[in-house]
Amino acid sequence: RGLRARADGLTRAHEARSWEHICGLAARIGLHDGALPDRHTVLRCLRGAGPAAEEWLRQVDGNSRVNASPPPAGTFCSPSAALLVALLRHAEAMGGASGGTPLCPKGELIARARALCEQPFCSLEEQLAAPAGALRCASLQQLPALLTLGYAKERKRKGACPSGVVYELLPAGRARAEALVREGEAPPAA
């Protein structure tokens, strides 16, 4: 939550790289499979966070206004976790109806994730209406982390969605999404 607030505060063009980095770090935190109780654990477990991330996390640690309580049951604080569980929910709803792994249209993925997450999402319509690069949504910026971590695969299907983009849930993503549903975002430390 604290990193999200920091990302929302980065609005100038020269801060774009920092914004992308914060969103990526927040995504990796949300998808991490163990407890991350403090910034030291985050930096130790998530390679490539860097010194800037350490400073951001220090600011979050010192901010008493950041809500540290767990989200309500069935919802997620992390947009990346909500996106992954939304892909799982879509796959479960579709079953094997289409023969093989169901593909989730981007608009449906956003709508499902929005319903599961306490963080705001820009709609697909807002994305398509905005000039290229003009709309920055910290929640949707976490979507590339699912691809990088091998949890989902992006495919182009012109007729499936107005964006022409669909997502496939991969086996590693299914396993992590099932764990998120079962244990929540912050499983107890072993």
Q: Which two three-digit tokens encode residue 16? A: 């774009």
Q: At residue 185, does pLDDT exceed 70?
A: yes
- Residues 12-62: tens digit of each pLDDT: 555 667 777 777 888 888 888 877 777 777 777 777 777 777 777 777 776
**Burial (CB count within 10 angstroms: exposed 0-12, middle 13-18, buried 19+), residue 187:** middle
| pLDDT score recorded for residue 9 | 59
- CA dist list (Å): 11 to 7, 14, 50, 54, 141: 8, 8, 21, 20, 14
pLDDT bracket for residue 164 (50, 70, 90): confident
Contact (CB, 8 A) for 40 and 72: no
The fraction of the chain above a pLDDT of 90, given in percent, is 31
pTM value is: 0.81
Contact (CB, 8 A) for 82 and 76: yes
pLDDT bracket for residue 190 (50, 70, 90): very low
Q: At residue 189, does pLDDT exceed 70?
A: no
From CA 165, how far away is CA 128, in angstroms rounded?
12
Question: Which distant-in-sequence residues (6+ apart) come within 8 Å of 103 by Cβ?
Answer: 155, 157, 160, 166, 167, 168
- The rounded radius of gyration (Å) of the Cα atoms in the chain is 16
The angle at the Cα of 83, spanning 53 to 133, to the nearest 5 degrees, equals 65
Range of lowest pLDDT (28-42, 101-115, 144-158): 28-42
